[in-house]
Structure 1
Amino acid sequence: MRFTYAFVILFLLNCCAWAAKPLKGKAVLRNDSSIVQLKHFDDAELARLKQKPEFQYKSETTGPSLWSRFWRWFWHLFDGVDTPQHTNLLFIVLKYLFLSLGIAAIVFIVLKLAGVDVRGLIKRKPADARIPFTETLENIHEIDFDLNIDQAIAEHNYRSAVRLLYLRALKQLNDAQLINWQIDKTNAAYINELTNANQREAFAVLTRQFEFVWYGEFAINSQAFQNIKTLFSNFKQTLA
């Protein structure tokens, strides 16, 4: 340990002695004798270059773009929101809002490219009718209307109940010899066969109600069904 201290002291003393040693000789300031050749710009070449379009640096002052004006208007709506807490909350809400819109747009594009009916996914499909007949393809004289209507109402399948009411109205018109029911006729044909103007107008209303509910695939509730059922009951009384 003593040897280490002695070595450090001797090293420092040697450095001090070297630093204090005077320099030999005298500093001499010498002049630069090199020859400098001055060069000048070619004025003619500068004038020619100034005429080229790529060297025309003109600043054009234009107004803000539509995108900039939109964001200026958008942020102007929040001029009153100047506290740090409100500003942070606003940015968080906007961040997730735009993120959600972006994800929704991507999902929509992917589904459309895949051929998926997006509207069909959003629109709730009404309950399917579980009856083996239609208003044109089956014999209306072979249907037990009272039984099937009561069953449809019990199952809250009001669309099927409206369909059965319409088929029964066709049978009532045919039994009263006001129309000539045929398996291949359309609803419009039956309306045109009615000679009584009041009956024709009333049955046209029933036809629109039926087509709106059935072909429009609108799910109706109990109250709406009762209103439609009343129309069919009133129409039946006109046939008496």
Structure 2
Amino acid sequence: MQQKWLFALFLFSWTIGFAQNDSIVKFDDSSRQPVAVSQEEIDAYLTDSAFDYEVVQQEEIGWWNDITNWFYNVLIQFFEWLFGVESAVGYLAIFLRILPYILLAIFLYLIIRFFLKVNVRSLIHNEKNPNTVVLSEEERIIKTEDIQQLIKNALAENNYRLAIRYYYLFILKLLSERELIDWQRQKTNDDYSNELSNSPLKDHFNKATWLYDYIWYGEFNIDQEHYTKAETVFASLKKSILGNA
């Protein structure tokens, strides 16, 4: 029994001594040599794109991009529903991207045509057409010219589009002479239509106005056959005006 206690005491003393020896911190006392870096290595590091950490600030997306992106997504969903495809690719994707701009251009064109009632193409190219009756001449033609003779002259030259122009001015002259409208140079054809609201001539006048706008302002060059059809509408309106006197 005494031998067991001596052995245990010896083992305990040996363990403590080993732990103390193991806890001693050893320092590296070897000599240190600085690492030399050449200028070529520094330049290579500075020009390496892998170490370029420049932060590029993303441009803010404006309201117009929000609208076009929303419209594009709506079109994508529509075509997916219509054709049963998952996404638009290729030419279809390109078309859908530019479609909002096309629609906007058409909308602006129609607005300009509706409010200004001018020959947009001639205004852009600044071309002078000897057959064109500019807006400043309307008053002179209506008040001083023999419009029926102007119509005959235009027909003799096969200028049916110009004949329609004169015929419409002749209609305005008849309406003004019979005090059915108050003709003023600054007024529009819509103003005259409103002045005829209580007259049975309004529907006939609106139809003639539509033909005039389509042929004259739309630069639609008509032939004799088309002129004859349009002339029937104007002649019927003329007869109604004279019969309304």
TM-score w.r.t. length of structure 2: 0.43
Greater share of residues in helix: 2
TM-score w.r.t. length of structure 1: 0.44
